[in-house]
Amino acid sequence: MLAEYLRPDQILLNEGGQDYRDMLQKMVARSAEQDAGGIVDEILAREKIMPTALGKGIYLPRIRIDGKTGSEVIIAVNRQGLRFEEYGSKVANIIMLFIFSRDDDHAAILAQSLRLLNDDNLRATLLKCTKETEIIRAISDWEQA
């Protein structure tokens, strides 16, 4: 279940970024990781090879870190949508950043996230949320339905 990885202090609501790097840095800063710059560099290198801008306003950047204890999911939701020059016309409304431990089943977490974000009603609900706890509740309710 994705909801078990979510914490209110790791959710950014209507936060902007100058560019994709800046947004990722803000997100990584909410994680337990100390090397935000190095993590962002690795994510962006991976994005050049395999972009995670999926359409429908969804971005799913991710990284696996050796020696990390417990995976983290950091979410940024922006109702207006963010435009990043490197992605042209693709708007970002929901960015889920996954910082995976090598020990967790990252494929299952990603699959659950894709199922969840493919639900048009849930995406609309997430964009209407005004509190971090509402995001967690909406995702938890969807997973339990």
Q: What is the mean pLDDT of the chain?
A: 92
pLDDT of residue 19: 87
pLDDT band for position 37 (cuts 50, 70, 90)? confident
pLDDT band for position 84 (cuts 50, 70, 90)? confident
**Listed residue (126, 65, 130, 135) closest to 100, CA to CA:** 65
At 75, is the secondary structure helix, strand, or coil?
strand
For each of the domains in the chain, give its residue range(s) and CATH number, in order of start. 2-144 (3.40.930.10)
In angstroms, how far is the first alpha carbon of the chain from the final one?
12
Instruction: Indicate if the alpha-carbon torsion angle 15, 21, 27, 29 is positive or negative.
Output: negative
What span, in angstroms and rounded, lies between the C-alpha atoms of 4 and 74?
A: 12
**Listed residue (63, 46, 76, 57) closest to 110, CA to CA:** 63
At residue 58, φ and ψ (nearest 5 deg) are -110, 130
pLDDT band for position 27 (cuts 50, 70, 90)? very high
Query: What's the token pair of residue 65?
Result: 């870190």
Centre a 10 Å sphere on the Cβ of residue 69 and count the other Cβ atoms it contains. Answer: 8
